[in-house]
Homo-oligomer: A and B are copies of this chain.
Amino acid sequence: MSQYTPASGSIAHSIASKIEKMIADSELLPGQKIPSERQLCSRLNVSRSAVREALRELQARQLITTEQGKGSFVAEIIPQAKQSPFLQLYFDHSRTLYDLYEVRQQLEGQAAELAAQRATQKDLYRISKAFEDMEQSQGRSRAHYDKAFHQAIAEASHNPVLIHVLASLEELIMHSVQASVSNLYHLKDTREQMNKHHRQIYQGIIKGNPKSAQKAAIAHVSFVSNCLQKFEQQGSNVIRDAVLNK
């Protein structure tokens, strides 16, 4: 076949998308064999290199597995949703979680500091509401309000870059950590400590005391980081025990 087709994106990618769709539509079932590369070539009227790159893409995304001499097969397990690339990258280093929190600590501190300086009435209302919701909530929903609280503070900094970066870090952390922050709430003293931190941050912002808010935010993130670090080491059995004993 001649070599034309300017194509949108790339042929290889469009092939990958086709196969992906077939898998998604259950036309190809897990464990099932995918037509051989040479078959796909002639059927789709493209070169083998294009097909190979397409398969390599699906391979990287763990949608298929490939064995030399045998063929390519639809992967058995698909469940894991897309997780952030950079995290997968760091997954080996357990230090990564610490690194993430180290940076986050600094930026949360800055966000709280700026929020104390710049928050409008509207911002203060939102922060107050988030704070109260958080105090009253329990269990799983607590994590949600926790997040909302921090986000409200970030937005009150009125620095879009800061907001954006913090949101990115949040996402990385979410994907990274197995023991969700919500688990920490199951330990009584931990919970009380975090409440205390939150109140300090809140007070600092409301009263327009930047340094106080910053300091509290840094202490808070630092504390959470340390707790998570401990759990990472001991495994999550501690949490389970605590939950069971409750």
Residue of B with least CB distance to A164: B87
Say yes or no: A99 contacts B162, CB within 8 Å: yes
Partner of A89, one of B23, B102, B169, B172: B23
Per-residue CB proximity of A148-189 to B under 8 Å, as 1/0? 000000000001111111001101100000000000000000
23 intermolecular pairs with C-beta atoms under 8 Å apart: A23-B89, A49-B49, A58-B60, A61-B61, A61-B85, A63-B89, A77-B168, A78-B164, A79-B84, A79-B171, A81-B164, A87-B161, A93-B160, A96-B160, A96-B161, A102-B110, A102-B114, A102-B162, A103-B107, A103-B110, A103-B161, A161-B172, A165-B165
Residue of B with least CB distance to A78: B168
Partner of A165, one of B96, B103, B171: B103
Copies in the complex: 2
List 10 additional contacts besides A24-B90, A87-B164; criterion CB under 8 Å.
A20-B89, A49-B52, A56-B57, A57-B60, A59-B60, A61-B85, A86-B163, A90-B161, A99-B160, A165-B165
Which B residues touch A103, using CB under 8 A?
A: 107, 110, 159, 161-162, 165
A12 at the interface (CB under 8 A from B): yes
Whether A164 touches B57, Cβ cut-off 8 Å, given contacts A20-B89, A89-B63, is no
Please, how many angstroms separate the alpha-carbon atoms of A86 and B159 in the complex? 12
A53 at the interface (CB under 8 A from B): yes
Which B residues touch A99, using CB under 8 A?
A: 159-162
Please, how many angstroms separate the alpha-carbon atoms of A114 and B106 in the complex? 12
Residues in A lying within 8 Å of B, measured CB to CB: 12, 16, 20, 23-24, 49, 52-53, 56-63, 75, 77-79, 81, 84-90, 93, 96, 99-100, 102-103, 106-107, 110, 114, 159-165, 168-169, 171-172
Cβ distance A171 to chain B, nearest Cβ, rounded Å: 8
Which B residues touch A96, using CB under 8 A?
A: 160-161
Partner of A52, one of B53, B89, B161: B53
Partner of A110, one of B61, B106, B164, B165: B106
Please, how many angstroms separate the alpha-carbon atoms of A77 and B163 in the complex? 15
Say yes or no: A87 contacts B56, CB within 8 Å: no
Cβ distance A38 to chain B, nearest Cβ, rounded Å: 15
